[in-house]
Chain A
Amino acid sequence: MTPYLAVVSARFRVLLQYRAAAFAGVVTQTFFGFVRLAILLAFFRAASGPQPMTPADLPAYIWLGQAMFQMVPWSLDREVAALVRTGGVSYELLRPVDLYNQWFARALALRTAPVLLRALPMVVLAAAFFGLGPPPSAASGLAFAASVAAALLLSCALTVLLNVTLMWTLSGEGVSQLVLVTVIVFSGLVIPLPFFPDWFQPVVTALPFAGLMDTPLRLYTGNIPATDAVAFLTRQVAWTLALVLAGRALLARGTRRLVIHGG
């Protein structure tokens, strides 16, 4: 196994052990799914005039979003934060591997294992009882799958960038809180992005956060037609590359000023 795959697989196995957390997560996400759905349906009943999404789009958008909730980078990697705080990061630097790739591999496990544990039961529940239907076409389904993969890489790139800020802040608590709100609002996990005001649309579309969740969900529902998929996928990939480059540049500066206390 290559070094990076080995890191992904080891952490993945550890994270799969958190079954109680996954169960609690399913219950919580289901509850909030109903709340979000109820609010949006009430809004549709009260609204007049054309809307950017149809009520038929909502179950898929909400339930898949709830199922993949753990995939968004809602905080930095707490394991890395602990390593930086305790000086364990010195062992990370003693490995004959690229530190950025190593952290990216850790992030990949962190952003997939919890999702796998939660997504499967939630999708089954939602399809059986809460009105989650298939995508309108096979093309939409494929576009969704590709976009989820891109969203995962984007999420990891953002996670590692956040990790890198630890080289300056040490604790990471402030960064995590700031990012939590930003990511959840601008990825569409509070209200779907199409419902943001028209004048604000260019901003939410341009930000990287849309690609974390809103883009794949709308591709699934057909709200973004499969024919437009390439443009949206390109945006996700472009943001991922930009964030990787930024993360690498910052990490290179950070390791130069690294001070490892004690011991």
Chain B
Amino acid sequence: MPQILVENLVKTFRVAERRPGLAGAFAGLFSRKHRTVRAIDGVSFSIEAGELIGYIGPNGAGKSTTVKALSGILVPDSGRCEILGRTPWKDRVAHVARIGVVFGQRTQLWWDLPVTESFELLRDIYRVPAEDFLKRRDELVALLGLGPVLDTPARQLSLGQRMRCDLAAALLHAPPILFLDEPTIGLDASAKLAVRDFVKRLNRERGVTVILTTHDMDDIEALCERVMVIADGRILSDGTLAKLRQSVTRERWLTLDLVEEKGAIEDPDARVVERDGLRVRLAFDPEKVSPAVLVARIAARHPVRDLFVENPPIEAIVARLYGELKP
């Protein structure tokens, strides 16, 4: 039995619509129009212990709604969900004791308390035995480099410091499952790396199952073997990063540094993606033309100083995938 099992989860919201303008606002006092929005519409998946899953999708696709339902704080309209043998929203208290959650946009630290006191409060709330707490806290403090900020009230932390503290706060009770909802949002490059590094170690060394929602494709490339893509409340794709890439495009990129900047590069099996002075980037389908043949053909006509072949960045793949979704 998988650790997390989700079947046909549906959640709809009723949204009041207001007609524009003063007249509309006035009319809204007497009669309101409601519109039903299906935030998630039949989502199913299953996750084994120790997986690290990227859960991506455009804004409003239903990522956070799924995470909230899985966390037990949102009651779905229909569908089944079992995590560690429990239905989250039916058995909320027992369920949340076994998961850790970080919402990147909010903090769970007490605003006015020094970080270390927030940790102690969490120890009491999760009923963590004092010994386990001290051991885990010291480990997390060392891993995340929190030593210098422990006595600072949460409101005075920088975003990067806050996020690292929030990660520690979510793990003090040693949950086997961790939900991360946009944990790198707004962080600078080094803070992002620190968070990624930590999540990776947590997964590899401790076997913690992680579901990561993000808009940052570097997070996904750095961390996730398996990626689920959700759009309009439905799962579009579920599999390895390579499979996702394949399903969108087989295209590969050939980047050339030319010797001289003249003449158009033309080839029946490639198209120019961008050209910047001496550097030219071509997209081609490796099933139609092998890279060696293509390079030979072009080099015969244009002197080439350097070249390399690469996959298009996952960013471009996902952008294309989302683009295809738009009507």
Q: Which residues of A are in contact with B by a Cβ distance under 8 Å?
A: 1-3, 5-7, 10, 13-14, 17, 86-88, 90-91, 93-98, 255-256, 258-260, 262-263
Contact = CB atoms under 8 A, between A and B. Distances in A.
Given A255-B75, A260-B74, 7 more contacts: A3-B126, A5-B124, A94-B71, A94-B99, A258-B75, A260-B73, A263-B64
Nearest to A256: B75
Nearest to A14: B112
Contacts of A95: 96, 125-126
18 contacts: A3-B124, A6-B124, A14-B110, A14-B113, A90-B68, A93-B71, A94-B99, A94-B108, A95-B126, A96-B93, A96-B94, A96-B126, A97-B125, A258-B75, A260-B74, A262-B64, A263-B105, A263-B182
A86 B106 contact: yes
Given A14-B113, A90-B103, A93-B73, A260 B96 contact: no
Interface in B44-97: 64, 68, 71-75, 92-94, 96-97
A88 B99 CA distance: 18
B181 interface: yes
Contacts, number: 78
A2 B101 contact: no
A94 B101 contact: yes
A260 B73 CA distance: 9
A97 B13 CA distance: 27
Contacts of B238: none
Residue from B13, B71, B112, B120 with most neighbouring chain A CB atoms (10 Å): B112
Given A263-B105, A263-B106, A7 B121 contact: yes
Interface of B: 13, 64, 68, 71-75, 92-94, 96-97, 99, 101, 103-106, 108, 110, 112-113, 117, 120-121, 124-127, 181-182
Contacts of A14: 110, 112-113
B121 A94 contact: no
A259 to B, nearest CB: 6
Contacts of B93: 96-98
Contacts of B71: 90, 93-94
A6 B101 contact: no
A95 B2 CA distance: 24
Nearest to A2: B124
Contact of A96 (B97, B106, B113): B97
Nearest to B13: A259
Contacts of A262: 64, 105
A97 B110 CA distance: 17
Contacts of A91: 101, 103, 106, 108
Contact of A93 (B72, B106, B182): B72
Contacts of A13: 113
Contacts of B99: 94
Contact of A1 (B75, B94, B106, B124): B124
Nearest to B182: A263
A260 B117 CA distance: 27
Residue from B73, B75, B117 with most neighbouring chain A CB atoms (10 Å): B73
A102 to B, nearest CB: 8
B152 to A, nearest CB: 15
Across the A-B interface, give the 3 residue pairs with the lowest CB-CB distance, nearest first.
A6-B124, A96-B97, A93-B73
A259 B14 CA distance: 10
A224 to B, nearest CB: 40
Given A14-B112, A96-B97, A262-B105, A90 B73 contact: yes
Given A93-B96, A258-B73, A6 B125 contact: yes
A94 B121 CA distance: 14
Nearest to A102: B125
Contacts of B13: 259
Nearest to B103: A263
B242 to A, nearest CB: 30
